[in-house]
Amino acid sequence: MKNPFKNDDHSGLIIGAIVAGALAAGAGIWFYLRGRRMAEAEAYRLEHAGDYLAGKKKKKKKSKTDVSELAGVVHPQQL
């Protein structure tokens, strides 16, 4: 028969459960904050995706000449 006055010591199990719960909560918070920060970075990247294009200058169009106009291009004063 079991002794009703003998108490079992479960303090190690309780402390282990508290530590495991704290680690799980910390990991969950870390993943949540990391995911939110990554979402903010992605939104910023999409918002400013075309900023590098603002400083570009348009290239000049090349003038197209026909064979009959080549003499005027080479010697413009003679025409």
Structure letter (DSSP) for residue 48: T
pLDDT in tens, the chain (79 residues): 778 788 888 899 999 999 999 999 999 999 999 988 888 888 888 887 777 766 667 777 777 767 777 777 777 665 5
Instruction: Determine the Cα–Cα distance for residues 31 and 70; give it in Å rounded to an integer.
Output: 69
Q: Is residue 4 part of a domain?
A: no
Instruction: Determine the Cα–Cα distance for residues 73 and 53; give it in Å rounded to an integer.
Output: 35
Q: Is residue 15 part of a domain?
A: yes
Residue 54, pLDDT score: 66
Residue 76, pLDDT score: 67
Q: Which two tokens stand for residue 41?
A: 């970075």
Count of domains observed in the chain: 1
Q: Is residue 42 part of a domain?
A: yes
Q: Is residue 61 part of a domain?
A: no
Instruction: Determine the Cα–Cα distance for residues 64 and 17; give it in Å rounded to an integer.
Output: 81
Residue 62, pLDDT score: 74
Q: Is residue 6 part of a domain?
A: no
**Residues of the domain holding 31:** 11-54
Instruction: Kindly report the number of other CB atoms within 10 A of residue 64's CB atom.
Output: 6
Residue 25, pLDDT score: 97
Q: Which two tokens stand for residue 69?
A: 């106009």
